[in-house]
Amino acid sequence: MSDGFIELRGIRKVFSGVVALDAMSLVIKPGEIHCLAGENGSGKSTVIKIMSGVYQPDGGEILIDGKPVPGMTPIGAIAHGVQVIYQDFSLFGNLTVAENLAMNVHLGEKRRLMNWRRTRAIAREAVDRLGVELDLDAEVASLPTAGKQLVAIARALMSDARLIIMDEPTTALTRKEVETLFRIVRDIQARGIAILFVSHKMREMLEISERITVIRNGRKVAEGPTGDFDEASITRHMTGSDILNKPYVWTPPPGPPPVPRLEIRGLTVPGKCEGLDLAIRPGEIVGLSGLLGSGRTELALTLFGMVPRHEGEILIDGAPVRLRTTQEAIKAGIAYVPEDRLTEGLFLSQSIKRNMLATSYERLARKLVIDREQAEEMTQGMVRAMQIATPTAEKPVMQLSGGNQQRVVLARWLLTDARVLILNGPTVGVDVGSKAEIHAKIRELAQHHGLAVLMISDDVLELVQNCNRIVLMHRGRFIDDLPAADVTEESVSDRLKTFT
């Protein structure tokens, strides 16, 4: 008899003839932190939805406390103590924290009228149980990502959870917020509640979990105590191959130093950043990191023409440019890939083709008519160049994996003949295989096309491996400008900690 709380045995799931899960088995023990790892499209989400009753398996069985549970439904899963915190948290943004936390209790009691005193009492108990501070009267939409996550966790604990499934819980969190989340996860574990931590971030898996299960193409390929794994072995199991990370080396051309492709002199945004000087030459990849609120995103937005009130000089290839609108930035050859591609970088319901061409229609216009032949040629060429996995460019971009969505955003800007590429969190929410491919493409653009790249990231290892210089920012000022060859991930992380 299994000693697990929940067990999947030989689960099979097929969608339109495509096998999503095949002979998938998984055991989650009471009070353990178990990590489910795999690339995007490996079957992680299908496992979650099978366990939570959203999908019915086409073969195999689900057991709770060693007893088969046929026909698991979402309500049945919750009744058994299975709670899922999805990436979008499934919260009501226009309601307060208290209303979100008390809603399920009120629904369960079939109340017709809202009792505001009871609502606050329910919410206060939930927040106190979690041991955090939250403004119960704040609208959830106004909270930062970490705050929304705390609300979702507090709500899950209200339902006598025995297993909490966290789907990519650290995607949009800073390192400090991740540390807070891990403390809460361990507190939850101490109460005997199991955690299934679904992620593709290897360092976090190794830090938080006790056991790791790795799936690839719908099948389990590795499982065991966390001590049996390291980053290289997890990568190998997830992708089926070894991924070698060699530092990026920029070699200046012989002769006089080249004119900077991007240069800023005394750039100041009132209340955000002050007196910034930076030069990035053709082929350079310069990393930028700093704590939340350091001013790094404001700098990126200013360079993309989204902060018209700024002072100082901005030069492209030695010539001063005016960047008061995004149109002026694009015309100057500046491209910006935002951190949140889903809300800021893509038209999710539109096709890959339309997303790619969004900034190129003016060039494609011939007497107010789009040159469809040229548009098709540009699209197909970029699908091949960016290695976007899709049977057709007419496919809605929302149906792509995170890595392919990021390639679409990059492709859009490459079609503008950009000279400066600003990347804000270039691989957030992207699995390890796609991350390596995106990094390779960024290096190629810098080395062979002469782009100046400003890479903004919380992932210090990403910067150390892909940049020739790393600039650290604190309270609106540049503090350090470090050659990547002279630093390590640990030394940069230690330096950032001094800013707290």
In a domain, 46, yes or no: yes
306 and 373 fall within a common domain: yes
Task: Tell me whether residue 334 is in a domain.
Answer: yes
**Number of neighbours of residue 13 by Cβ within 10 angstroms:** 22
pLDDT for res 2: 59
Cα(126)–Cα(100) distance, rounded to whole angstroms? Answer: 11
Would residue 250 count as lying in a domain? no
Examine the fold and report which residue of 205, 239, 273 is the final residue of a domain before the chain moves on: 239
Specify if 251 maps to a domain. no
Q: Is the pLDDT of residue 47 over 70?
A: yes
- Which amino acid type is present at position 229? F
Q: Is 218 left (phi over 0), alpha (psi -120 to 50) or beta?
A: left
The answer to which of 100-109, 269-278, 481-490 has the lowest mean pLDDT is 100-109
Does residue 292 lie in a domain region? yes
Q: Which of 121, 120, 383, 419 is nearest to 258 (CA)?
A: 419
For residue 154, CA distances in Å to 54, 88, 358 come to 22, 15, 41
Band of residue 1 on the pLDDT scale cut at 50, 70, 90: very low
Q: What is the mean pLDDT of residues 156-163?
A: 88
Whether residue 190 is found in the same domain as residue 95: yes
In angstroms, the CA 486 to CA 500 distance is: 23
Hey, CA dihedral for 108, 113, 115, 120, is it positive or negative? Answer: positive
Lowest mean pLDDT among 40-44, 268-272, 439-443, 480-484: 40-44
Phi, psi of 396 (to 5 degrees): -60, 135
At 244 the pLDDT is 66
pLDDT by residue (tens digit) across 84-97? Answer: 998 778 889 899 99
Token couple for 337: 């890939």
What's the CATH number where 297 sits? Answer: 3.40.50.300
Q: Residue 92 sits in which domain range?
A: 6-239
> Are residues 211 and 71 part of one domain?
yes
Are the CB atoms for 307 and 301 separated by under 8 Å? yes
Residues 67 and 161 in one domain: yes
Q: Which residues pair with 336 in a beta bridge?
A: 422
Q: What is the pLDDT of residues 121-157, one digit of tens each?
A: 989 988 888 888 889 999 998 888 888 888 999 988 8
Take residue 178 and report the two structure tokens written for it. Answer: 């991740």
pLDDT at 259 over 90: yes
pLDDT of residue 114 exceeding 80, the answer is no
Domain for residue 244, yes or no?
A: no
Whether 193 and 292 map to the same domain: the answer is no
pLDDT at 202 over 50: yes
Share of the chain above pLDDT 90, in %: 54
Residues 333 and 415 both lie in one domain: yes
Residue 446 within a domain:
yes
Q: Report pTM.
A: 0.72
Could you tell me if 436 and 242 are in contact, meaning their C-beta atoms sit under 8 angstroms apart?
no
CB 470 within 8 A of CB 463: yes
Q: Across residues 427-446, what is the average pLDDT?
A: 84
For 338-387, the pLDDT digits (tens) are: 877 767 778 889 999 999 998 888 778 776 788 888 889 999 998 988 88
Q: CA-based angle 410:412:418, to the nearest 5?
A: 80
Do 184 and 271 share a domain, yes or no? Answer: no
- Name the CA radius of gyration of the chain, rounded: 24
pLDDT band for position 500 (50/70/90)?
confident
Residue type, 178: V
Q: Are residues 204 and 274 in the same domain?
A: no
Three-class HEC string of the chain? CCCCCEEEEEEEEEECCEEEEEEEEEEECCCCEEEEECCCCCCHHHHHHHHCCCCCCCEEEEEECCEECCCCCHHHHHHCCEEEECCCCCCCCCCEHHHHHHHHHHHHCCCCCCCHHHHHHHHHHHHHHHCCCCCCCCEHHHCCHHHHHHHHHHHHHCCCCCEEEEECCCCCCCHHHHHHHHHHHHHHHHCCCEEEEEECCHHHHHHHCCEEEEEECCEEEEEEEHHHCCHHHHHHHHHCCCCCCCCCCCCCCCCCCCCCCEEEEEEEECCCEEEEEEEECCCCEEEEEECCCCCHHHHHHHHCCCCCCCEEEEEECCEECCCCCHHHHHHCCEEEECCCHHHHHCCCCCEHHHHHCCCCHHHHEECCEECHHHHHHHHHHHHHHCCCCCCCCCCEHHHCCHHHHHHHHHHHHHCCCCCEEEEECCCCCCCHHHHHHHHHHHHHHHHHHCCEEEEECCCHHHHHHHCCEEEEEECCEEEEEEEHHHCCHHHHHHHHHCCC
Q: What is the mean pLDDT of the chain?
A: 89
pLDDT tens per residue across span 217-252? 899 999 999 999 998 899 899 888 777 677 888 888
Residues 273 and 209 both lie in one domain: no
pLDDT in tens, 392-420: 999 999 888 777 888 898 888 888 889 99
Mean pLDDT of 248-259: 86
Whether 126 and 214 share a structural domain: yes
| 476 domain-assigned | yes
Same domain, 227 and 292: no
Q: How many domains does the chain have?
A: 2
Give yes or no: residues 49 and 153 share one domain.
Answer: yes
Asked whether residue 491 carries a pLDDT value surpassing 50, the answer given is yes
Whether the CB-CB separation of 151 and 91 falls below 8 Å is answered with: yes
